[in-house]
Amino acid sequence: MPSAPLPPAPIADLLSDTLTKPTGAMRAVMAEAVVGDDVFGEDPTVRELEEQVSALLGHEAGLFTPTGSLANQLALRLHVAPGEELIADELAHVVRAELGAAAVFSGITSRTWSSDRGRLDPAGPLGLLATGVGPYQVCTSLVVVENTHNFGGGTIQPLSAIRALRAATRPLGVRMHLDGARLWNAHVATGIPLADYGREFDSVSVCLSKGLGAPVGSILVGERDFIAQARIWRKRYGAGMRQVGILAAAGRYAVDHHVARLADDHARTARVAHACATAAPGSVDPASVETNILMLDVGRCGWPPGDFVTAAAAQGVRLYAAGPRSVRAVWHLDVDDAATDHAERVLSELLATGGRPT
Ligand SMILES: *Cc1c(COP(=O)(O)O)cnc(C)c1O
């Protein structure tokens, strides 16, 4: 795979919102960033970004990490002792897409509840919780909530459900971590302040490198002592970075300039969802498309997902085969109205044609 030639650029690259490239203005602030050695705590740009994001999320302190997976894994390690468990939705990134890191690095076991498109119903986690189960059963230490929910299709978690879960778990001493890789999208779609979500959790991770368009980076936030511990573990894992203000500057630019514009991504996603539903009723319920992720049930139109992805790619639209019946399309900073028009046309036609063996 590493030696394969790069394919020609698609017209609409909807594979993932991780694909965004830094804009010219972002590169300019990166070039000018004031930097220092962040392992010694001396990079002013990193410190500013950590303070800015932790304040936005209603927490005391923040830690810059190279990836969202590392931000999540530092939180899991600190909340859950070896031999204890975390519980999460069965589609959650921490259980499906981090390659078993919680088990490999931290000796954590996991159990999962099932959901409808990742939507949080407190009954799911509350039905799994095991606390005070003595020396014979695994103790639940942490509940992980993902907002928006990636594999659920960009689903926004209702604040009322989060609050109900918090009210039930807090007296039991069970902690809550928010995988907020796309919390920005939930905030923009609902108008709910980031801190209203953030305050319900002991820790929150957010990504700067998805729809916000920074090339690299996530922030983990929590209480001051918790973040001090996370800083030690980040270094232990080999992710203490030096003059990394050059990347934090991109993150600051993204937070200042690329949050409100996520509404454009949401509008484009909704537009294509409506077109697909018109072209092939049942391929998607437009009411279920809440943010920047569109899941299409192509199986319903007779398409094996892999064939649909290949057919769309031949017409310049890159998608991801997400499940046995579904493909995923994700809108982001680098997909404009013209690319969206093209995707709308190609997807509608393919769905209406239906997949027939050739
Ligand atoms: C992308 C993502 C992450 C972090 O991914 P990295 O590639 O490690 O930055 C975490 N959680 C969710 C839900 C994500 O979509």
- For 163-183, what is each residue's pLDDT tens digit? 999 999 999 999 999 999 999
Nearest residue to 333 (alpha-carbon basis) of 53, 10, 49, 16: 16
Rounded Cα–Cα distance for residues 228 and 230 (Å): 5
Tell whether ligand 1 has an atom less than 6 A from the beta carbon of residue 181. yes
Cα–Cα distance, 204 to 197 (Å, whole number) = 9
Does residue 271 share a domain with residue 251? no
Residue 12 lies inside a defined structural domain of this protein? no
Domain's final residue, options 208, 237, 257: 257
Q: Which atom of ligand 1 is nearest to the CA of 92?
A: 13
Average pLDDT score, the chain: 96
What are 53's two structure tokens? 């994001």
Domain encompassing residue 297: 261-353
Structural domain contains residue 59 = yes
- Asked if the structure places residue 19 within a domain, the reply is no
Please give the backbone phi and psi of residue 6, each rounded to the nearest 5 degrees, phi first.
-70, 130
Whether residues 45 and 169 share a domain: the answer is: yes
**Residue 2 lies inside a defined structural domain of this protein:** no
Domain CATH for 270: 3.90.1150.10
- Please indicate, yes or no, whether residues 318 and 270 belong to a single structural domain of this protein: yes
Ligand 1 binding pocket mutation candidate from 15, 89, 150, 155 (most atoms within 8 A of CB) = 150
Report yes or no on 11 lying in a domain.
no
Residue 209 lies in a domain: yes
188, pLDDT greater than 80: yes
Q: Which of 199, 232, 257 is the last residue of a domain?
A: 257
246 & 307 share domain: no
Same domain, yes or no: 100 and 154: yes
Same domain, residue pair 211 and 327:
no
Substitution site in 69, 73, 204 for ligand 1 pocket (most atoms within 8 Å of beta carbon): 69
Say yes or no: CB of residue 292 within 6 Å of ligand 1: no
The count of structural domains within the chain is 2
Digit-coded pLDDT (tens) for 299-319: 999 999 999 999 999 999 999
Say yes or no: 209 and 276 in one domain.
no
Question: Residue 222 has which token pair?
Answer: 């929590």
Query: Of 257, 292, 318, which closes a domain?
Result: 257
Q: Report yes or no on whether pTM surpasses 0.85.
A: yes
Is 152's pLDDT higher than 80? yes
